[in-house]
Amino acid sequence: MSTHPILLVEDNPDDVELTLRAFERNKITNEVVVASDGVAALDYLFARGAYAGKDPGLPQVVLLDLNLPKLSGLEVLQQVRASERTRLLPVVILTSSTEEQDLARGYGLGANSYVRKPVDFAAFVEAARQLGLYWLLLNEPPPQCR
């Protein structure tokens, strides 16, 4: 798989651990950078704040929760799509939200995919396998995101 990291934007430590375990079980070896709020995610993507002066480059894919402190996932997505640097970056909304308005707004703001987090661990592991297979192995990222 790619050597580019995955940016996991998730504020719930249990969901972070679950995601990391699911990736491990599926032998997804990309580094996973965790941002626990929307501001931290944008700091990483735009090399500011804690990342100022040490541009980490762009991740292979962003897995974005919607319900985040400081700045919501939809607000993060809006800023990602507004910037020339990140507008083509693959963003997958990975959330427990079942709200139709979140689904519609996510796609309206330019999400590449919307995945509801399965509650069952086995189902979550399978979802992580499919996400990894598609976004890290099969998908050809835009040239500026390579």
For 67-107, write each residue's pLDDT tens digit: 999 999 999 999 999 999 999 999 999 988 888 999 999 99
Domain boundaries, the chain: 6-138
Q: Quick one: average pLDDT of 5-22?
A: 93
Confidence class for position 145, pLDDT limits 50, 70, 90: low
- pLDDT at residue 2 tops 70: no
Contacts of 25 (CB under 8 A, 6+ apart): 125, 128, 129
Q: What CATH topology corresponds to 6-138?
A: Rossmann fold (3.40.50)
Alpha helices in 26-120 (DSSP H): 38-45, 73-82, 100-108
Rounded to the nearest integer, the mean pLDDT of the chain is 90
- pLDDT at residue 127 tops 90: no
